[in-house]
Amino acid sequence: MHIMEGFLPVKHAIGWSVASAPFVAYGLYSINRRIKENPEQRMLLGVAAAFTFVLSALKMPSVTGSCSHPTGTGLGAILFGPAAMAPIGMVVLLFQAILLAHGGLTTLGANIFSMAIVGPFAATAIYRLAKAMKLSFGISVFLAASLADLLTYVTTSAQLALAFPDPAGGFAASFAKFAAVFAVTQIPLAISEGLLTVVVFNALARFNPQELKEMNVVTVREVQV
């Protein structure tokens, strides 16, 4: 769900970069604070960036039979916090552009905004909301991961629609068009990713309860309830 290199007009490319900059700056500030309190967080977040990169290269089984790649925004936001995901996402998107020619440098700002800002913040908000509503852990994680994926793709569609409004129907028609084109792949992907994220936490609770406890992210009891 990346916008391709050079696809956005120059004003939009700069605009989205300016919009993403404060989030990345705040993310760096929060990472620096975390490192000052716990120096081992420096290594953890670096390895987390590599984890997110390899995760996005995995071929995930999709409900429609086709293969898609997970975005890892929901999982990353729950594990490492939404603020840290903006700089981590920036590094991952930059690496995807440089190592895989996927995405681009001129569209980095727009891609950061949809995938490293909207996705993780939405995932955290939905996860907290679901927990406040006393929904079970599995349903909370499923909703957080799949809705974060959907919101990411809705944001990308809006970015493209803003850049290329339809000559006849304007922004709304263009948004409907891009959303419909992406829906074919993104809705099955969101469901698969939601299921996968739940299975990941179940696997952790079952096979690595000690490590899950040491990570101090969620408790085994939370997962099992």
Which residues within the stretch 105-164 sit at the binding site for other proteins (CB under 8 A)?
105-106, 164
Interface with other proteins includes 88 (CB under 8 A)?
yes
Please identify which residue in the block is written with the tokens 């079970």: 136
Candidate ranges 25-33, 121-129, 132-140, 148-156; the one touching other proteins (CB under 8 A): 25-33
Interface with other proteins includes 22 (CB under 8 A)?
no
**CA–CA gap between residue 72 and residue 146 (Å, rounded):** 10
Among 15, 71, 75, 142, binds other proteins (CB under 8 A): 75
Question: Beta strands of 7-65 (E only): which ranges?
Answer: 60-61
- Three-class secondary structure of residue 41 per DSSP: helix
For the CB of residue 219, give the shortest distance to other proteins in the complex, in Å: 15
Interface with other proteins includes 50 (CB under 8 A)?
yes
Interface with other proteins includes 37 (CB under 8 A)?
no
Among 18, 22, 26, 32, binds other proteins (CB under 8 A): 32
Candidate ranges 100-108, 110-118, 132-140, 146-154; the one touching other proteins (CB under 8 A): 100-108
Contacts of 106 (CB under 8 A, 6+ apart): 5, 6, 8, 13
Nearest C-alpha neighbor of 44 from the set 14, 8, 7, 88: 88
Identify residues 187-216 at the interface with other proteins (CB under 8 A).
Answer: 192, 195-196, 198-204, 207-208, 211, 214-215
Quick one: three-class SS letters along 82-114? HHHHHHHHHHHHHHHHHHHCCCCCCCHHHHHHH
DSSP codes of every residue in 178-215: HHHHHHHHHHHHHHHHHHHHHHHHHHHHHH-HHHHHHH
Interface with other proteins includes 90 (CB under 8 A)?
yes
Among 19, 131, 177, 188, binds other proteins (CB under 8 A): 177
For the CB of residue 22, give the shortest distance to other proteins in the complex, in Å: 14
**CA–CA gap between residue 208 and residue 220 (Å, rounded):** 9
Smaller CB separation from other proteins, 72 or 134: 72
Interface with other proteins includes 183 (CB under 8 A)?
no
